[in-house]
Copies of this chain bind each other. A is one copy, B any other.
Amino acid sequence: MAKAHKTIQPPGLERALDRLEHLCRAHGQRLTRQRRAVLSSLLSAGRALSAYELLERLRPEDGKSTPASVYRSLDFLMTLGVVHRLESTRSFIACEHPEAPHWVQFLICRRCGQVVEAEDERIAAATERLGQRLGFALDQRVVELTGVCEGCRENAARH
């Protein structure tokens, strides 16, 4: 039996889109149809998508999406903190902790592609400390830990 994806369905999706609207107002930014569609699509995918996978998923609804416009929407959503980019897989994922604008870490299963978003205080503190020790004023922290998740290891164990 296939692993259940944590696809966000309404009303979770509704709530997230409401939150997006409030964030836009708060930042004096415009909430456009495409921006809503991009976040919505990422949320209902329930996993990380490449920009072009996302584009594929938008096309049925909105045939005139282009790479440039998808990237623009993604950039926008990233500045609001509701979407993150995974550097090591060149993909994008909806944020699971949108209330807390803290530094996050990602755990990525190289087998099933599952991505877990974490907010580990020790790692946050340790990276900050390292930055200070080496004289860096940090403004971006990429922490992406790749391996095999528990479920996949169990599956592998029973062949």
Give chain A's interface residues, CB within 8 Å of chain B.
87-88, 105, 107, 109-110, 116, 118, 120, 122-123, 126-127, 129-131, 134-150, 153
Contacts and interface: CB of A to CB of B under 8 A. Distances in A.
Contact of A120 (B88, B109, B126, B147): B126
Contacts of A130: 105, 107, 118, 120, 122-123, 145
A140 B136 CA distance: 24
Nearest to A103: B145
A127 B139 contact: no
A144 to B, nearest CB: 4
Nearest to A129: B122
A29 B110 CA distance: 26
A150 B135 contact: yes
A147 B140 contact: yes
A136 B109 contact: yes
Given A110-B140, A139-B146, 14 more contacts: A87-B87, A105-B127, A107-B138, A120-B126, A122-B122, A122-B126, A126-B126, A135-B149, A136-B147, A136-B148, A140-B146, A140-B147, A141-B143, A141-B145
